[in-house]
């Protein structure tokens, strides 16, 4: 009897195994595939592009076929197949085939998804499926799975790229080129010969709603997070569109807060985590993000107000330098801004000439109407002399901040100079005005080093019409041993990404910064800790930038035009700033804190002795 029972169990197991194999062969990939059949017309679905914007396939325009590849940051099969997808995209792009990578890793930040595209140097878009909508719509169950739709959005192929790479190893060749064969069949108007194949990739973890913690309250948990991560920008009188300083503020914007926090869109940060240690890095931890989500889904409880932190006190002055009061302020004439249209850059020389070398440690450019001033650059110039890149002092850009220098570091405005502003105004739909104020804070201490910069730029590039990922490079060599202060990127509306690499004289190289999803509307500096980043003389700083001149770029002024370097936003710029101090510079200057002027050495000694 025992032997018979064992045989019966074995036969039952074999039957179950056989049924499982039949099910897998009939519907590769699992249960979701059974619900979405090959030949079925696929309805609209939404994914997020690298700018966090919701997009659909219709945004690509008319195509003969679409290839959607499901990816994650950590699946080894995905990593092996990305170069192959790049090759296929290059082979079929001009034949009307649109490739799209859709990340399905629940914990993969969109910023790092964008950086994955840089590492592969892919010309096709990378995107994010935050809620699993795309995977469900196409019946995908594994990372490394690919789907082919025809021009009418009918599902024509679902499965593997080819048979070369597996989770446990690889073959020496691609074997059967399943994806390539499917694309060829669709372009030729034939039925796809092999319409489904089994996929050896990592299972897709479709995000599932968590059971929210019931004890999360605004007073005890959310108010401290908003104070720490949000209120620097979101307080009354700031440039942010709304304040987040009260319980009612948070409740009024709760769904939006939950969305931008869960997507890691806010707090804003655009540098990849893979490279660089920056003192101004922003971001919430996973625990903090879950706490915000729990609070919103738990009906935004206020909680015991006695447990709330004391409200932050914000400076009444808009000046962020000189404890709210600069030492010296200059103003432009009032500027009239039209209701619509492009506005040429305006150049204004401020009405003051510095009689002596003037050392400053704080500089702020302050518009009276921040809604119409997109950015403003400031340089010094002398009458009769043409300004150069070396004359640049600072700028004000979306997401930027005032220039505040470290102890014993200053910036010298040379004697005989005046300050010149280059202002980029944008229209807001109504006629308005603006007046820009420039505030200076004089050095209040001994100055040992002056802040310098090198500009890694390219002024002679041409971006072809429709180019989705056009590469532009530039290199600048450091002439002295220096200590890095920080980095800054500047491009226009077609700017996609920019990376900085240091190539050292000993042959070593280092990636300093990768900004994989550049934002024209939120440009920020990336600041190193003091003394942390050293560059020996002869180090070359290389910048690599990519530009998206395709119709898929939602901000593209005109994808049909050839783009060259220029000042206007319908043109492009490629500027990588590297700020530093020279290690061999030991100025030992005593400065008059009332004027910013250097005190002659003899006078400084006498003044010190009199004390």
Residue 179 belongs to a domain with what CATH number?
A: 3.40.30.10
Evaluate if residue 4 carries a pLDDT over 90. no
Place of tokens 């990340």: 103
Place of tokens 């280059």: 422
DSSP strand pairing (482-490 vs 575-582):
antiparallel
Tell me what pLDDT residue 172 has: 77
Among residues 284, 307, 330, the one where a domain terminates is 307
Backbone angle region of 418, left / alpha / beta, with phi > 0 → left and psi within -120 to 50 → alpha: beta
276 & 368 share domain: no
Which of 184-188, 207-211, 452-456, 538-542 has the least mean pLDDT? 207-211
Kind and range of the H or E run holding 5? helix 2-26
Question: φ and ψ at 221, to 5 degrees?
Answer: -115, -40
Among residues 307, 342, 363, the one where a domain terminates is 307
Mean pLDDT of 510-527: 94
Cα(110)–Cα(101) distance, integer angstroms: 12
How many Å separate Cα 568 from the centre of its chain? Answer: 22
Whether 389 is in a domain gets the answer yes
DSSP strand pairing (47-48 vs 54-55):
antiparallel
Evaluate if residue 13 carries a pLDDT over 60. no
pTM score: 0.88
Whether 147 is in a domain gets the answer yes
CB-based contact 69:85 (threshold 8 Å): yes
465 & 570 share domain: yes
Tell me what pLDDT residue 607 has: 52
Evaluate if residue 611 carries a pLDDT over 70. no
DSSP strand pairing (65-71 vs 97-103):
parallel
Tell me what pLDDT residue 6 has: 38
Whether 604 is in a domain gets the answer no
For residue 604, what pLDDT band results from cuts at 50, 70 and 90? low
Mean pLDDT of 387-407: 87
Among residues 251, 275, 307, the one where a domain terminates is 307
- Residue 33 vs residues 101, 192, 343, 598: alpha-carbon distances, Å: 19, 17, 53, 76
Mean pLDDT of 367-373: 90
423 vs 35, more confident: 423
Question: φ and ψ at 420, to 5 degrees?
Answer: -120, 135
Whether 599 is in a domain gets the answer no
291 & 343 share domain: no
Tell me what pLDDT residue 18 has: 35
CB-based contact 226:261 (threshold 8 Å): no
Mean pLDDT of 474-479: 98
3-state helix, strand, coil in the chain (%, to 5): 25, 30, 50
Whether 601 is in a domain gets the answer no
| Exposure string for 365-397, b = 16+ CB within 10 A, e = fewer | bbbbeeebbbbbbbbbbeeeeeeeeebbbbbbb
CB-based contact 358:597 (threshold 8 Å): yes
29 & 172 share domain: yes
**Highest-confidence range of 212-221, 338-347, 491-500, by mean pLDDT?**
491-500
Query: Per the structure block, which two tokens stand in for 354?
Result: 């510095």
Evaluate if residue 440 carries a pLDDT over 80. yes
Mean pLDDT of 94-105: 97
Query: Per the structure block, which two tokens stand in for 69?
Result: 């590849």
274 & 349 share domain: no
Evaluate if residue 236 carries a pLDDT over 50. yes
Tell me what pLDDT residue 319 has: 92
Question: φ and ψ at 541, to 5 degrees?
Answer: -100, 120
54 & 179 share domain: yes
Tell me what pLDDT residue 27 has: 33
238 vs 251, more confident: 251
Question: Which SS3 state, helix, strand or coil, does residue 428 take?
Answer: coil
Backbone angle region of 322, left / alpha / beta, with phi > 0 → left and psi within -120 to 50 → alpha: left
Evaluate if residue 562 carries a pLDDT over 70. yes
Tell me what pLDDT residue 173 has: 75
DSSP letters of 213-236? -TT--IIIIIHHHHHHHTTTTSST
Structural domains of the chain, count:
4
Mean pLDDT over the full length of the chain = 90
Residue 267, preceding bond cis, omega within 30 degrees?
Answer: yes
CA angle 16, 22, 27 (to 5 degrees): 125
Express each pLDDT in 335-351 by its tens digit: 999 999 988 889 999 99
440 & 524 share domain: no
415 & 555 share domain: no
CB-based contact 125:101 (threshold 8 Å): yes
Whether 606 is in a domain gets the answer no
Kind and range of the H or E run holding 432? strand 432-434
419 & 470 share domain: no
Whether 194 is in a domain gets the answer no
The enclosing domain of 484 has a CATH number of: 2.60.120.230
- Single out the residue of 582, 325, 558 nearest to residue 453, CA to CA: 582
Partners of residue 178 on adjacent β-strands: none
Tell me what pLDDT residue 389 has: 81
Tell me what pLDDT residue 286 has: 93
Tell me what pLDDT residue 240 has: 83
30 & 122 share domain: yes
Whether 6 is in a domain gets the answer no
| Domain range for 223 | 218-307
Cα(516)–Cα(122) distance, integer angstroms: 12
Mean pLDDT of 231-237: 89
439 & 557 share domain: no
Q: What proportion of the chain, given as a percentage, has pLDDT over 90? A: 80
| Exposure string for 151-161, b = 16+ CB within 10 A, e = fewer | eebebbbbbbb
Question: φ and ψ at 428, to 5 degrees?
Answer: -125, 5
Evaluate if residue 227 carries a pLDDT over 80. yes
Tell me what pLDDT residue 325 has: 94
Rounded to 10°, the helix 76-92/178-187 angle is 30
33 & 177 share domain: yes
DSSP strand pairing (335-337 vs 126-128):
unpaired
């Amino acid at each position: 009897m025992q032997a018979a029972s064992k045989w019966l169990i074995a036969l039952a197991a074999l039957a179950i195994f056989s049924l499982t194999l039949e099910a897998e062969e009939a519907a590769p990939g699992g249960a979701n595939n059974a619900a979405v059949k090959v030949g079925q017309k696929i309805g609209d679905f939404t994914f997020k592009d690298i700018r966090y914007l919701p997009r659909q396939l219709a945004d690509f325009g008319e195509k003969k076929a679409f290839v959607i590849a499901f990816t994650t940051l950590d699946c080894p099969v995905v990593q092996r197949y990305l170069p192959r997808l790049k090759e296929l995209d290059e082979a079929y792009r001009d034949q009307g085939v649109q490739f799209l990578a859709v990340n399905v890793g629940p914990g993969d930040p969109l910023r790092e998804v964008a950086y994955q595209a840089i590492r592969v140097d892919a010309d096709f878009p990378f995107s994010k499926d935050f809620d699993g909508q795309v995977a469900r719509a196409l019946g995908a169950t594994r990372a490394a799975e690919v789907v082919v739709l025809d021009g009418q959005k009918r599902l024509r192929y679902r499965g593997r790229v080819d048979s070369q790479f597996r989770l446990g190893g690889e073959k020496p060749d691609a074997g059967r080129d399943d994806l390539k064969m499917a694309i060829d069949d669709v372009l030729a108007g034939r039925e796809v010969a092999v319409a489904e194949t089994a996929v050896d990739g990592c299972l897709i973890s479709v995000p599932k709603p968590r059971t929210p913690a019931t004890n999360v309250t605004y007073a005890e948990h959310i108010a401290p997070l908003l104070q720490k991560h949000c209120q620097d920008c979101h307080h009354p009188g700031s440039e942010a569109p709304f304040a987040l300083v009260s319980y009612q503020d948070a409740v009024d914007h709760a769904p939006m807060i939950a969305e931008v926090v869960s997507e890691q869109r806010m707090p804003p940060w655009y540098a990849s985590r893979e490279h660089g240690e920056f003192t101004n890095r922003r971001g919430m931890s996973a625990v903090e993000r879950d706490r915000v989500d729990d609070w919103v889904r738990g009906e935004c409880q206020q909680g015991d107000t006695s447990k709330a932190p004391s409200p932050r006190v914000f400076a009444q002055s808009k000046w962020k330098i000189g404890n709210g009061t600069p030492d010296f302020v200059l103003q432009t004439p009032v500027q009239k801004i039209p209701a619509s249209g492009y506005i040429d850059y305006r150049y204004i020389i401020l009405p003051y000439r510095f009689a002596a070398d003037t050392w400053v440690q704080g500089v702020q450019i302050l518009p009276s109407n921040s809604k119409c001033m997109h950015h403003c650059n400031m340089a010094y110039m002398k009458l009769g002399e043409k300004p150069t890149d070396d004359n640049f002092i600072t700028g004000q850009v979306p997401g930027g901040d005032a220039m505040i220098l470290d102890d014993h570091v200053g910036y010298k405005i040379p004697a005989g100079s005046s300050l010149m502003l280059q202002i980029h105004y944008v229209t807001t739909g109504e006629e308005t005005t603006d007046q820009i104020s420039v505030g200076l804070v004089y050095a209040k201490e001994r100055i040992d080093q002056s802040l310098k910069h090198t500009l890694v730029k390219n002024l002679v590039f041409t971006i072809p019409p429709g180019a989705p990922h056009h590469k532009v490079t530039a290199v600048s060599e450091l002439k002295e041993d220096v200590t890095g202060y920080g980095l800054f990127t500047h491009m226009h509306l077609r700017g996609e990404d920019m990376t900085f690499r240091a190539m050292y004289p000993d042959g070593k190289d280092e990636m300093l910064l990768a900004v994989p999803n550049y934002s024209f509307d939120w440009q920020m500096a990336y600041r190193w800790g003091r003394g942390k980043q050293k560059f020996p003389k002869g180090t070359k700083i290389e910048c690599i930038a990519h530009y998206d001149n395709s119709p898929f770029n939602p901000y593209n002024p005109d994808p049909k035009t050839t783009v060259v370097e220029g000042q206007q936003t319908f043109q492009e710029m490629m500027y990588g700033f590297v700020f530093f101090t020279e290690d061999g510079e030991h100025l030992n200057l005593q400065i008059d804190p009332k004027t910013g002027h250097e005190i002659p050495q003899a006078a400084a000694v006498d003044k010190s002795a009199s004390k």
